A and B are shown apart, each in its own frame.
Chain A
């Protein structure tokens, strides 16, 4: 595909247990405030609203009483082979850092939105409007994430600033910043989920819980057949949920 596939000694990954997600939206609210996404008056217009983390409602498409639902939180999938990177004309997005987090450099972005079109997971958001907070509320902005102007594309960064902080804390404690303890770096959504449905860690580190979780027979990734090799895994014991993870034909 894009030819950007790279291997890193550290691969940060998220594992989401769909069978525990109640769809409450706490992950979305946590993400918004952590990453300075402004409150949006017309948030119901999903073509214009920005939500780095978005909870989808899945259904097995059956009629009552055999109908079933599940909720699927969707951050940036941090593809191992990211379709967005190869289309960016100005290298505003890249996958070139240990950890495998797909970067997004706002001052470099020219707002062409090729990446928005290329991303099969709809994780990229174009800023259609100036970010405006109600009067005084700008005092609650997080110092960890810059505020983006309109006209650039933004997306989930796996709360990259938290990784920097965790590495700093490790250095101060005399530990190896490239071998963080499990839980030393987690994203805001993972930290605050009331159901404990989200887990985070280094997929390649055997000491991290996610290392085992991704091997679960119930684990799957979204649109795996595209070869994007994502770093976000989902777990569900329900077969219909796992099958919805990819575009299966009815005959399959």
Chain B
């Protein structure tokens, strides 16, 4: 049967019409269009039940309470906890990163042992055996370093170190170590706490209180709460420091003064207060008065610092006439300040009668210790780590045989990083408990990764700067993602292996005991309906229902207490001021004025990956960081905008590009910290330079404390 033309056309026409009426071609086109957009490499968002659980940020030094959003049990987002007194709903860029950090490419995935220049994975049992053997052999010469200022883990670490024969238990230097030294020299008991919530006139000497100093998220909330948008502020803030930093940017006044001159400015203000009749019964007042009147008159201060006499007089007048003045002293970059400026700043509080007053300074008592043989926080803060490591490097101090490093990255986060790294090399056996492969872990013999805060029990006890005693719980909200363990458990397991009795089997027991001890502290309460600053202002503290404390902490509330440790001999430490604070001639060399920001992480976290976007291109461009100088300094040094330069100091060179920024004092080079990592992941590594390594450590006269507040640098 043939196919004639008519039949063929009929077949084609019929087929076409049929095809038009069948769904097949339309379905195929639809499928094709979906397929072209169905890119399997684009991640799908997770599905499941959404819930919220509370914990506390441990990666951020500000210690904010967090509300973690979970989907099907997996943490997704970290937000501020409105019920927590150190958060009040706010959260720093660093605390926000706690969830993403679980999957940081820099995470150490299992215990590792050094094998030549690389590391080989080992089991936890092998790690414990190795550690027990080496530490057993090193008995009598074991040192420890902790970067955790607020955790009960320090009790376990220092008790174990002591039982092994301590060569020293040190805290990484910070605002807390400087302040502790200052308080000790003043004969004070307790940790200085600043009641921003009830203060109405705040003088900030150097401290970057809204970024890196103390409880910075809470500080900002307290600042903002009394400044309704568009209305006259109910508080007044004056910032004294070398640059208009994040804090100074929102203060009512910025008074430019070198970080090295903060003590001089403070004593210059004291001169006005004394002239106006301020007095004190505290020990050493007469000597203090003589020191101030002998060299810190308005013209002395102007000659030394450039601060005009009328500016000082106005600040003194504002403080003296305020209902609740407060003076806060700290380092513009969170470390390296000597004790004397803190003493000078605290002297102003004493002259103004602000100790143990609402809106003033409370000398907060230490929370009860639970691990037998542990160092107190005050004793731990008293150690001088840079001095110790410099001594080890130079051979003046015998190198410990073993070093335990917890939550610290001294090879990156200390000044004179090159010297510190050399000192670490002299210590034959080093163990890092870091969660991330940081610069120090890379130098160690054993790396035993700590579980991250969202995977472990931990705690945050009264971070430095808090105006009240506060304790909040860090709790695991998911199982460890990698083969990691809570370091507290590892240390307790090690103690058992070495037949050392530390009273506890696991770290959760330690935390539970700590909470139980808090329930017995008189005056403590759970901040829920009443916040501690309201109690400080006179509202009655609610009673604590003891049995519910653990549950309340798990629910994200904080235990708090208002009040101060009994003071018997808090004085002016005028003899230290006389030696350490001098209204001399202004520096003629170029001085480094570093600044630090939470968005670039800490030495322990490296750069949180999603925070990299928050860094402006005037700070980091490609792999180069910028230093900031004003146009006058640029002209004097022959620098141009965008020019590549080399900074030298402490035997180290760093590259930088020049950014002209007028809010830097003449003669100062402002440089961002948090860059220039050689370890971690591709979000941190090789991005810019570590300008802290340019800072040379010097010994402060009068206190003997290591300081690096105003290092000189050379520019080429």
Contact = CB atoms under 8 A, between A and B. Distances in A.
A41 B89 contact: no
A143 B92 contact: no
B613 A146 contact: no
A176 to B, nearest CB: 24
B449 to A, nearest CB: 15
B77 A142 contact: yes
Nearest to A16: B229
A17 B614 contact: no
A26 B74 contact: no
A223 interface: no
Interface in A102-132: 107, 130-132
A30 B91 CA distance: 9
B91 to A, nearest CB: 5
Interface stretch (A57-65, A89-97, A244-252): A57-65
B117 interface: no
A55 B246 CA distance: 13
Among B71, B227, B610, the one with the most A-chain Cβ atoms within 10 Å of its Cβ is B610
A195 B45 contact: no
B599 interface: yes
A218 B230 contact: yes
A196 B221 contact: yes
B81 to A, nearest CB: 11
A67 B662 contact: yes
B31 to A, nearest CB: 15
A51 B683 contact: no
B217 A194 contact: yes
Interface in A211-252: 213, 216-219, 235, 237
A156 interface: no
A140 B250 contact: no
B229 A25 contact: no
Q: How large is the interface on A (under 10, 10 to 19, 20 to 34, 35 or more residues)?
A: 35 or more
A140 B249 CA distance: 34
Given A69-B249, A147-B42, A140 B211 contact: no
A62 B663 CA distance: 9
Contacts of B45: 36, 141-147
Interface in A22-75: 22-26, 28-30, 32-34, 36-37, 39-46, 49-51, 55, 57, 59, 62-65, 67-71
Contact of A57 (B41, B256, B612, B616): B616
A182 interface: no
Contacts of B225: 196
Contact of B250 (A21, A33, A132, A217): A21
A219 B481 CA distance: 48
A74 to B, nearest CB: 13
A51 B44 CA distance: 20
A193 interface: yes
A138 interface: yes
A216 B96 contact: no
A137 interface: yes
Interface string A170-211: 000000000000000000100111111101000000000000
Contacts of A43: 612-613, 615
Given A141-B45, A147-B43, A24 B599 contact: yes
Nearest to A20: B224
A115 B538 CA distance: 57
A3 interface: no
| Chain B, interface residues (CB within 8 Å), range | 35 or more
Interface string B603-641: 000001111111111101110000000111000000000
Contact of B79 (A24, A59, A191): A191
Contacts of A134: 103-105, 609, 681
B80 interface: yes
Nearest to B50: A143
Interface string B103-123: 111000000000000000000
B212 to A, nearest CB: 10
B223 interface: yes
A193 B87 CA distance: 10
Given A62-B662, A194-B217, A25 B74 contact: no
Nearest to A190: B89
A132 B621 CA distance: 21
A24 B105 contact: no
Contact of B103 (A71, A139, A196): A139
A149 interface: yes
A40 B613 contact: yes
Nearest to A148: B42
B708 interface: no
A21 to B, nearest CB: 7
B90 A192 contact: yes
A217 to B, nearest CB: 7
Most buried by B among A25, A134, A141, A142: A25
B37 interface: yes
A180 to B, nearest CB: 18
Contact of A191 (B46, B89, B683): B89
A17 B96 contact: no
B80 A191 contact: yes
Contacts of B69: 142
B249 A70 contact: yes
Contact of B618 (A24, A39, A57, A218): A57
A132 B683 CA distance: 13
A139 B481 CA distance: 11
Contacts of B43: 131, 133, 138, 141, 147
Contacts of B247: 22
B248 to A, nearest CB: 9
A229 B211 CA distance: 34
A29 B630 contact: no
B99 interface: yes
A59 B75 CA distance: 40
Nearest to A61: B662
A15 interface: yes
Contacts of A44: 612, 615, 617, 620-622
Contact of A141 (B76, B609, B632): B76
Given A138-B43, A213-B230, 7 more contacts: A17-B224, A25-B615, A29-B97, A64-B256, A137-B103, A196-B220, A196-B221
* Nearest 7 CB-CB pairings of A with B: A25-B614, A194-B90, A216-B230, A67-B662, A39-B609, A196-B224, A137-B103
17 contacts: A19-B250, A24-B597, A28-B93, A29-B614, A43-B613, A46-B617, A57-B616, A69-B244, A70-B249, A107-B37, A140-B103, A142-B69, A143-B45, A147-B45, A192-B80, A196-B220, A218-B230
Interface of A: 15, 17, 19-26, 28-30, 32-34, 36-37, 39-46, 49-51, 55, 57, 59, 62-65, 67-71, 107, 130-147, 149, 188, 191-197, 199, 213, 216-219, 235, 237
Interface of B: 37, 39, 41-48, 50, 69, 71, 74-80, 89-93, 96-97, 99-100, 102-105, 210-211, 216-217, 220-221, 223-225, 227, 229-231, 244, 246-247, 249-250, 256, 481, 597-599, 608-618, 620-622, 630-632, 662-666, 681-683
